[in-house]
C-alpha cells in the first residue's frame, strides 16, 4: 500500500517517471510473493523424532533442521552435528571459497566476525558439501542475511543496455538539433520552442513503460523475469538448450537397465518411487539374492544412500530415490538396516562420489566394509577387482576399456558445457533450462538462464535469469515472442518520433532558406510536440506483438537500433511530411503576407500527415495499419 500511495503522489506532482518505476516495483514484489505461495521454499525439519518437509517460513527459533548438499540454509542455525560440511557464504561475506563448518564452540570475542563463526550456518547460504543438523536461532529479518537484505534494498538497479543506448541517441539528437537551430535562429526566441519539438524527450519514458509492461505481460504468462536486461536479450535468443529431467519430463528418476560387471543386462519395469515393477533377466524375474551380481549392485546402492521413500514420496535426491525404489522391487528395501555406519564421506560436486564405511549389524566382529557410488571415472580409480558370477577377479586393462565403452554409450549426452562454448563462440544467444543443482553452472554460463519454479532447487533459481512459475516449456516461446515484440515496438516508436522531429526541423529550415515566413508559430510547434506526438508515441510502445515479427529470425545482439532500413523509412516519412506541408503553405502564401489562416492550414496539414505517419509506423511491413 505504501508503494501505491507513493505512485499516486508522484502522479499528482507530475513525476510520471517515478510513478511508473514505483508501480513496476510494486507489481514485481506482488509477482514474487505469488511465486512464493505457489512454490514455497521447503526444508527438512525434525518433528516428533521424524524428518518431515516443512515450509521454511514456518520455522521458529528452537526447531531442528537437517541440511544436505545443494540445500539453501532456511534460517540461521547453530550446528550440533556436521559431517564434512562446507558452505558457500559468498552471498553474505563476499568470500568465494566455501567455508568449512564444525560443531566446535567459538569464543565470545569472535561473535561479531561472520567468517570466524564456524559453528553457525547463515540463512541464504548454500551447502556445497556434506550434511549437518542445527537448531534455529534466527529467522527472516532477525537473521544475518536479513540485515544484509535491508541494505541491498537501498541499491538502485543499473540501466539496461537498451536504455543506455536510447539515452545516448537522445543526447546525440539534441546536439544535432541545437547545432542546426542555432545557425538558423541564433537570435530568435522561437529557438526554445523549436528545440522542444525537435528533441525526442519521450525516449526514456517510452523505454521504461515498454519494458515494464513487457515484464507484466510475462507475469500473466507465468514467467517471472528477475533482471530487466533479459527482456531485451529474449528477442535475440536463437538456441534453447533444455535439461531433460524436470523440464521435458517428470522430475522423477527410475532405474530402467542394470549392467553388471560380468556382462549381464537386466531390464527394470515400473516408474516412480514405489515397489510396483520387476527386474527381468532373460525373461526371468530377479528377486532377493537369487542373482549375486545384481543383488550386490543393489546392496551397494542402498547402503551408500541417504534417501528415504515414505508413502511413495521421496525425501532425498532423485538418483538415490531411484536406487531405493529398485531395492523395493527386488524385496531388498530393508537392506540398509543390516549395516551400521562407522564413517561417511558425503557426495560433493568436486569429488563426484559418496562412500560409507560399515559393519554388518549381525557380524560386528568382522572387518569393516566400504561401499562407494558416484561418477564412473572417479569410482573406477579405486577399483582393483570385479565380481564375475560370484568370483572375484583382478580388474585388468581390457576389462576397464570394455566398461569405458559401455559408459560412453550410456552417458554420451553429457556435453552441455562444450555445447555452450561452441554455440556462443559462433555468435549464438543461448537459453538454458534446468531444475537441479547440477544445472546451476550451465544456467550461469548461458546468456539466458531459465529455472523451473515448482521443481527447481533454490540453487537453480538463484542462478537463473527467468523463472517459469508453472514449469511449462511453452512459456519460454511466449517470452521470446514478447521480447521480439518489445524491441519492435521501440523501433516503431523511434521511427515515428524521429521522422516527426526531422520533419519539423526541415520544414522551418527550408522555409527560412527560401525566405518564407515561419510556417508554424511557437504554440503550434508545442501543440504538435505535446498533443500530437505524445499519445501516439506512447501507444506505439505498448502495441501487441506483431505476427510478422514473430516469424522473423532473432536479431543480432550487436545490431544498432538505427539500421539502414529504419533510417531510410525515417527519411522517406520526413520527406513526405515536409513536401506536403510546404506545398500547402506555399499555395496559401500567394500574397507573401502570412495570415492566421495560412498557419492554421499548414498546421492542420502537418497534423494529418503526422497521424498517417503514426499509423504507418505500427508495422515495419504494412504501409498503413489502422
d(CA 99, CA 437): 19
| Contact status, residue 34 vs residue 60, Cβ threshold 8 Å | no
What phi and psi values does residue 274 have, to the nearest 5 degrees? Answer: -155, 180
Which among 458, 106, 308, 435 is positioned nearest to 114, based on CA atoms?
A: 106
Side-chain half-sphere CA neighbours of 106 within 13 A: 19
Selecting among 71, 76, 88, 243, the annotated active-site residue is 243
Evaluated on CA atoms 394, 400, 402, 404, the torsion sign reads: positive
d(CA 275, CA 162): 55
Evaluated on CA atoms 131, 135, 140, 144, the torsion sign reads: negative
Which among 211, 215, 216, 221 is positioned nearest to 469, based on CA atoms?
A: 221
**451 beta partners:** 434, 467
Burial of 128 per CB tally in 10 Å (0-12, 13-18, 19+)? buried
Q: Which residues contact 230 (CB under 8 A, 6 or more apart)?
A: 448, 465, 466
d(CA 542, CA 366): 76
- Grid cell in block for residue 442: 550451465
With left for phi above 0 and alpha for psi between -120 and 50, is residue 15 left, alpha or beta?
beta
With left for phi above 0 and alpha for psi between -120 and 50, is residue 595 left, alpha or beta?
beta
Tell me the C-alpha to C-alpha distance, in Å, between residue 410 and each of 246, 259, 404, 413. Answer: 19, 11, 10, 8
- Grid cell in block for residue 214: 513487457
Output 338-343 pairs: Cβ under 8 A, ≥24 positions apart: 338/362, 339/303, 339/369, 340/364, 342/368
Q: Where are the extended beta strands (E) located within 385-491?
A: 385-388, 391-394, 430-434, 448-452, 466-468
| Contact status, residue 465 vs residue 446, Cβ threshold 8 Å | no
| Contact status, residue 577 vs residue 532, Cβ threshold 8 Å | no
The string of DSSP letters for 85-128 reads EEEE-HHHH---SPEE-------GGGTT-GGG-TTEEPTT-EEE
282 assigned to active site? no
Kindly list the catalytic residues.
243
Amino acid at each position: 500500500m505504501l508503494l501505491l500511495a507513493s505512485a499516486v503522489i508522484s502522479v499528482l506532482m507530475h513525476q510520471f517517471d517515478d510513478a511508473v518505476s514505483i508501480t513496476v516495483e510494486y507489481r514485481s514484489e506482488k509477482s514474487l510473493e505469488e511465486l512464493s505461495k505457489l512454490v514455497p521454499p521447503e526444508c527438512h525439519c525434525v518433528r516428533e523424532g521424524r524428518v518431515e518437509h516443512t515450509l521454511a517460513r514456518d520455522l521458529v527459533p528452537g526447531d531442528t533442521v537437517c541440511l544436505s548438499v545443494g540445500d539453501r540454509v532456511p534460517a540461521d542455525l547453530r550446528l550440533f552435528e556436521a559431517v564434512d560440511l562446507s558452505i558457500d557464504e559468498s552471498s553474505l561475506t563476499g568470500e568465494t571459497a566455501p567455508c568449512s563448518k564444525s560443531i566446535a564452540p567459538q569464543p565470545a570475542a569472535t561473535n561479531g566476525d561472520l567468517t570466524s563463526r564456524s559453528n553457525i550456518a547463515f540463512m541464504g547460504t548454500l551447502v556445497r558439501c556434506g550434511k549437518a543438523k542445527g537448531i534455529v536461532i534466527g529467522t527472516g529479518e532477525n537473521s544475518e542475511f536479513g540485515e544484509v537484505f535491508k541494505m541491498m534494498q537501498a541499491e538502485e538497479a543499473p540501466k539496461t543496455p537498451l536504455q543506455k543506448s536510447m539515452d545516448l541517441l537522445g543526447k546525440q539528437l539534441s546536439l544535432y538539433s541545437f547545432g542546426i537551430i542555432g545557425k538558423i535562429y541564433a537570435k530568435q526566441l522561437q529557438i526554445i520552442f523549436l528545440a522542444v519539438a525537435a528533441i525526442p524527450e519521450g525516449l526514456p519514458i517510452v523505454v521504461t513503460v515498454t519494458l515494464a509492461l513487457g515484464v507484466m505481460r510475462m507475469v500473466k504468462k507465468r514467467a517471472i523475469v528477475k533482471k530487466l536486461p533479459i527482456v531485451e536479450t529474449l528477442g535475440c535468443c536463437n538456441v534453447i538448450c533444455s535439461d531433460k529431467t524436470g523440464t521435458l519430463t517428470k522430475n522423477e528418476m527410475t532405474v530402467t537397465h542394470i549392467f553388471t560387471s560380468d556382462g549381464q543386462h537386466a531390464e527394470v519395469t515400473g516408474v516412480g518411487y514405489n515397489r510396483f515393477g520387476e527386474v527381468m533377466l532373460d525373461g526371468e524375474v530377479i528377486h532377493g539374492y537369487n542373482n549375486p551380481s545384481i543383488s550386490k549392485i543393489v546392496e551397494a546402492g542402498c547402503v551408500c544412500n541417504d534417501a528415504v521413500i515414505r508413502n511413495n514420496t521421496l525425501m532425498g535426491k532423485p538418483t538415490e530415490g531411484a536406487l531405493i525404489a529398485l531395492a523395493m522391487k527386488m524385496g531388498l528395501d530393508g537392506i540398509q538396516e543390516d549395516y551400521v555406519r562407522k564413517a561417511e564421506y558425503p557426495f560433493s560436486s568436486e569429488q563426484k562420489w559418496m562412500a560409507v564405511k560399515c559393519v554388518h549389524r549381525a557380524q560386528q566382529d568382522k572387518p569393516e566394509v566400504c561401499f562407494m557410488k558416484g561418477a564412473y571415472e572417479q569410482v573406477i580409480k579405486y577399483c582393483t577387482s570385479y565380481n564375475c558370477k560370484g568370483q572375484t577377479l583382478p580388474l585388468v586393462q581390457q576389462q576397464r576399456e570394455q566398461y569405458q565403452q559401455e559408459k560412453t554409450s550410456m552417458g554420451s549426452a553429457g556435453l552441455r558445457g562444450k555445447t555452450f562454448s561452441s554455440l556462443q563462440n559462433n555468435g549464438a544467444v543461448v537459453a538454458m533450462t534446468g531444475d537441479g543443482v547440477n544445472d546451476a553452472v550451465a544456467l550461469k554460463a548461458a546468456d539466458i538462464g531459465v529455472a523451473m519454479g515448482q521443481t527447481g532447487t533454490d540453487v537453480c533459481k538463484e542462478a537463473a535469469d527467468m523463472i517459469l512459475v508453472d514449469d511449462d516449456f511453452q512459456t519460454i516461446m511466449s517470452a521470446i515472442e514478447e521480447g521480439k515484440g518489445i524491441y519492435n515496438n521501440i523501433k516503431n516508436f523511434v521511427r515515428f518520433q524521429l521522422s516527426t522531429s526531422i520533419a519539423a526541423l526541415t520544414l522551418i529550415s527550408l522555409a527560412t532558406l527560401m525566405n518564407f515566413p515561419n510556417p508554424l508559430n511557437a504554440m503550434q510547434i508545442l501543440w504538435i510536440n505535446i498533443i500530437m506526438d505524445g499519445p501516439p508515441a506512447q501507444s506505439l510502445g505498448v502495441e501487441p506483438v506483431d505476427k510478422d515479427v514473430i516469424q522473423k529470425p532473432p536479431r543480432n545482439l550487436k545490431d544498432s537500433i538505427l539500421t539502414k532500413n529504419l533510417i531510410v523509412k525515417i527519411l522517406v516519412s520526413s520527406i513526405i511530411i515536409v513536401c506536403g506541408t510546404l506545398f500547402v503553405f506555399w499555395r496559401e502564401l500567394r500574397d507573401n503576407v502570412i495570415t492566421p489562416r495560412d498557419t492554421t492550414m499548414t498546421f492542420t496539414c502537418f497534423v494529418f500527415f503526422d497521424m498517417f505517419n503514426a499509423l504507418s509506423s505500427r508495422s515495419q511491413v504494412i504501409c498503413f495499419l489502422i
